[in-house]
Structure 1
Amino acid sequence: MSAIVREILKFYTDRKDFIDNLLSGGLPAILPAAIAFLWWLRWRHRQRRIPPSIFPFEVIKSQTQDLKKRILGGEDNDPLADRNIAYQQRVANRNIRRELQQLLEEHRWVLILGRTGLGKTREATELVNHLNQQGWMVLYLKPNEWLDIPARMPTEIGTDRKLLFFFDDLNQKMYRSREEISPEAEKSPVEKFNVPLQERLLEALERYEQFCGKEEVRVIATARNEKQSNFPGETSPWEKLQWEKYPKLWQRFTIYELPQPEDDAIIGALAATVTEAKIAADPQQYPELARRNDATFRNVVENLRRLKNDGLSLNPNTYRESLGKT
């Protein structure tokens, strides 16, 4: 609104004498024109803020060979890119991917919860890749795109009906959505500029279920569940979800609490990655490093990236024990 006020003041200053004369003798005559001018300024300012309407999903057709690259990114020749690090079974005698797949088959909507660094995105991506090879089209919500409620089946999807929606890091997506501006606001001045993602997500997904049938739609999502923020005064990851405010949305999901990796899984990640990354290390020290690790895969990766960039060897003296220190 401050920009509008500045334009009005400039308009008045440039034409002060003329406007003053009009106001002194013909206010009723010019009032409609003044109102129209103010409305036009407001409309122009509004239009400048509205982004173009873009389909918010990365469409990954069934049996796509580079799915992990499209979701996780990273260079093909980077051994420390997330998708290039060998997948580890985090808990002995358990197959996490199969557990998640069974939940998804039974309940259709699954939310993976866990603290940062546990590998939620990697576990979800492994499952998504597995199902994609079985014929499911993957719709991966892009960062910073407006999720709207479709009036009809989007042409970007085509004729496929087995749809697997993947929403990663819902904490940040939902928190950022407070500032996102709807492309729909271009259609009418009374359309809301801001609608939280929590309000749009449930209605949008249920609309896709109407188009395709509930049996043809699956939803997998990830979110952090820390109740405390890293810095005083900041909103915690859990608060960003607004669990109590949107019970209808969250009740649709079956919750899967991701277990932290055991020491053997950390040792396996080190053994599979250190040589490929050409970092000097003594494998006999891996069990000690695993015991000192903060039970996250991410801390392992962050340590190895730092050591590689700094040209250091991996040992108990150079290894940082937690994400807070890396």
Structure 2
Amino acid sequence: MLANDPTLIGLALQVGRTRTAQLDVGAMVSGVCGALPMAVGVAGAVIVFRRPPDPLTGPVFASDPAATRLGELQHRRAAGPVQEAIVTGRVVVTADLTRSESVEVAAVAAETGLASAVTVPLTLDGRTTAALQLLGTGFRPVPAELAETVRPLVEALSARLSDTAGFARLSAAVARSTAALEWGLPLAHATGIFAERYRTDVEEAGRFLAGAATRAALPVELHAVEVVAEVGRRDGPPARRDVAVHDDMPRDTPSDAARSGEVAPTTGEVPVPRNAPTGRRHRRDDAGPLAWLAGDLPLPRHSRARRDPQVPRRPDHEDARAAAGPDVDPDGDGGPGTPRHRRADIS
């Protein structure tokens, strides 16, 4: 163990205490690489990932430009001790990098003076996907014992990176589920509206909605959005209708041409007043998807809206005598309008 081990332990604890939901992978890994040289007494440190751990970061993190150059070369060429540690999953101790099998790695090591290395693999979700490389100079090589010294830090870093990857997968799944739910919510809402309005089951209401969308030449999801929006406009305060609503029901209201003063073409059909008792019920085969919202469907015969509140009450016998006047004999036939005369007519 080295004299400055408390610094290394504090670094491992700092990594372990970081919240996964608030973790910045690039900042954490860069901070570890920047603190390792002073913590363990080496010339440089670099962490190389097979793939970038975050879309906003690269695959290489290092303590200084020289270590960055050596790490990027090993990642780009897939050669050197880093690639060997990732493939084998074992610690690789390199006494002299200038004699590496890769000519480019050996040349960069000789140019930067980083001639010694100890490479420790990093495991994420049970797979070796990265490696931590401690670099030393020819005058001060990296001892092999440092692989065990940095083991707590490597384990904490691996666990935190695994948690971050799992959290990212769960967040993506939640986002996809939320988007699918938001896309399907108007469809379910419109289906429920039709099922309640026409007193039918959800399956039949869904088929009716799909048929109405086909007739309107719209996707069923967009047609459902229009239905829900129309319901919101009907329930809310009066507002200008800027969205054209596809309605399959014939309207008995004056057309746009009639309101503008133009003569509508003759079709041979007799116009029917809105409140006329047509006897037509709410049928699903001839009613448009939005006709009942716009008030184009006839009301049932038993509806209270058809009852005229101004119809006078039928007079009783006392009212008839009062209306006949004092000259009429109450015991005789008072003629039309009297209760006795009405009884005779009925019989």
CA radius of gyration, larger in: 2
Which TM-score applies when normalising by structure 1? 0.26
Query: TM (normalized to structure 2)?
Result: 0.24
Q: Which has the higher contact order (CA 8 A, sep 6+)?
A: 1
